[in-house]
Amino acid sequence: MIQALNNELSKELKLYYRDIEDSLICGRKTRNKILSSIRDAVSDFISSNPNADIMTVKSHFGSPKEIANQYYSNADSDEIKAEINIRKTIIVCVLAVLLITVIIYTISMIMVTIRGVKDLTGYNVITISATYQSDTDVSNSDLK
Amino acid sequence: MEVVQIAANNSQNNFKKGATALIILLFLREGDMYGYQIAQLMKERSDGDFTVPEGSLYPALYKLIEQGFVSDEKRQVGKRLTRVYYHLEDRGRQHLEQLLNDYYTVRNGIDRIINRSGGDSSLE
């Protein structure tokens, strides 16, 4: 049905669905099921109201916050806690991986720098010795 | 005054959230319905005093399905459109009876508390 909608409304609906998705702190299965029901209902609503814009849709179906609040009022608090804990664990894991990567990168850069410094030959002392020849010596040698 | 209005709206919303499942089950006892029908019926039968955005019904409906009180079925409407109809299961009927009992018990309790505490003069 979405293909039948005009492009602008379709884009705005995508954002609306994404906002609902972000507002719902629940398992993927639950979220997908609720979103699927809302998508079907929105398609139905738009086919009955072809001139509807995104504001009409939002006022009829409610804001993402209202939808999420309704979910939380029916959901088990343990279920929500478990989902929040899963999210926290994922965030902590991602941050830990990032931190480890940064540490490894920093250490490897330090090692490369230290190795580079050790490999440097330092500096060579070049002695330039100049031999002075007087004008008379030069003329004598020419005569010979 | 604005703060009082916001607080009043919030308390109304809290009452609505709690009662939504009860009302959905009550309507489905009359026959299978889809989301829009339920939202419209709420509006009509409450004379506009109990309105819930249609989108808010789906989390409540999903919970009722998950608990086995309601089942859903996709039905073809027209050429391309499908509509999800919700059906009240036997377990749902029993749960509805329980919810109605709970509701009347709590409501009567609150009424008694209000009456014995001087009541609300603005409503008299």
Residues 80-139 of A with CB under 8 A from B: none
Phi first, then psi: give them for residue A123, nearest 5 degrees: -145, 150
> Partners of B83 in the beta sheet?
B75
Which whole number is the average pLDDT over A25-42?
Answer: 89
pLDDT tens string A35-46: 999 998 998 899
Mean pLDDT confidence for A92-101: 94
Task: Give the distance from residue A92's alpha carbon to the nearest chain B alpha carbon, in angstroms.
Answer: 29
The minimum CA-CA distance between B104 and chain A, rounded to whole Å, is 20
Vertex B120, ends B118 and B121: CA angle to 5°?
95
User: Is residue B93 predicted with pLDDT exceeding 60?
Assistant: yes
Tell me whether B54 touches chain A (CB under 8 Å).
yes
Q: Which two tokens stand for residue B97?
A: 């009876």
Tell me whether residue B38 is exposed, middle or buried, using C-beta atoms within 10 angstroms of its C-beta: 0 to 12, 13 to 18, 19 or more.
Answer: buried
Residue B9 at interface with chain A, using a CB cutoff of 8 Å: no
Res B105: pLDDT: 95
Give the one of A33, A73, A75 whose C-beta lies nearest to B18's C-beta: A73
The pLDDT value recorded for residue B10 is: 60
If one compares A124 and B67, the residue with the highest pLDDT of the two is: B67
**What value does the mean pLDDT take over residues A3-23?**
85
State residue A94's pLDDT score: 94
Question: Does residue A55 carry a pLDDT above 60?
Answer: yes
CB A30 within 8 A of CB A74: no
Task: Give the nearest partner residue to A61 out of B34, B54, B84, using CB atoms.
Answer: B54
The verdict on a CB contact (< 8 Å) between B36 and A45 is yes
Distance (Å, whole) CA B46 – CA B22: 14
pLDDT at B42 over 90: yes
Q: How far is B71 from chain A (nearest CA, A)?
A: 13
**Which residues, 6 or more positions from B103, have their beta carbon under 8 angstroms from its beta carbon?**
B19, B22
Residue with the two structure tokens 């001087």: B118
Quick one: CA torsion of B18, B23, B28, B31, rounded to 10 degrees? -170
Q: For the residues B60-69, what does the mean pLDDT come to?
A: 92
Interface predicted TM-score of the whole assembly (ipTM), two decimals: 0.74
CA-based torsion, A17, A22, A26, A32: positive or negative: positive
In eight-state DSSP terms, residue A4 is G
Q: Please, which pLDDT band fits residue B69 given cuts at 50, 70 and 90? A: very high
Which of A79-93, A107-121, B106-120 has the highest mean predicted lDDT (pLDDT)? Answer: B106-120
